[in-house]
Amino acid sequence: MKKIKVAWGITGAGEKIEETYETMLNIQKIYDNIDIRIYVSKAGEQVLKYYKLFKNIKKDFNNVWFEINSNSPFLAGDVQTHQFEFLIIAPCTSNSMAKIANRIGDTLITNSVIMGQKSQVPIYIMPVDFKEGTTVTKIPNGDDLILELTEEDVESVIKVGTMKNTTVFENTEMIYEIFEKYFKE
């Protein structure tokens, strides 16, 4: 049986990276008919190493690629030609959200999202700066990090959320809902 491919993009966001990794690992176990292909930005690679997930992600998933430039690996081309059921970016930095909102495709992830939107491929994005206010996240050593999410960051999320073929979502639980929509058990 041929597996259906899904592209998972990882940016340099540390918040929710551990729970996103666990969620995607669970998704892979639940659905044996999907092939999750992972594409990691340059900053994403740093964050995976920082959170000690780099080796695990390479061990637990068969297809993992790391950004060389905005077109290498050629994720944008594969997205444009509908090689994937959908593209999910989780977690997504405020930097990547601002670039997508302003149509700046100068990274592997932002270029692929923009090309996917143009090609009518479903795009799902979990931004870490979903709503304005203070949030507490954990850094790799377990300490709390208090962050102030700005109006400007949230404006990018709102703008991207209104774009065609694009859904922004707040937490990893929603990843299960996305997969369930496409792949009934």
CATH of the domain at 82: 3.40.50.1950
Phi-psi region of 155 (alpha: psi -120 to 50; beta: other; left: phi over 0): alpha
Q: Exposure of 99 by Cβ count < 10 A (0-12 exposed, 13-18 middle, 19+ buried)?
A: buried
Provide the residue range defining the domain that includes 14.
Answer: 4-182
Domain total in the chain = 1
Q: Longest C-alpha distance within the chain, in Å? A: 47
- Return phi, psi of residue 56, to 5°: -65, -45
Determine which helix (DSSP H) or strand (DSSP E) holds 80, and give its type and residue range.
helix 75-80
Alpha-carbon span 166 to 181, nearest angstrom? 15
Calculated CA dihedral for residues 24, 58, 18, 72, nearest 10 degrees: -80
pLDDT attached to residue 185: 55
CA distances from 110 to 96, 97, 100, 170, 176 (A): 6, 8, 6, 19, 23
Ranges in the chain, pLDDT < 50: none
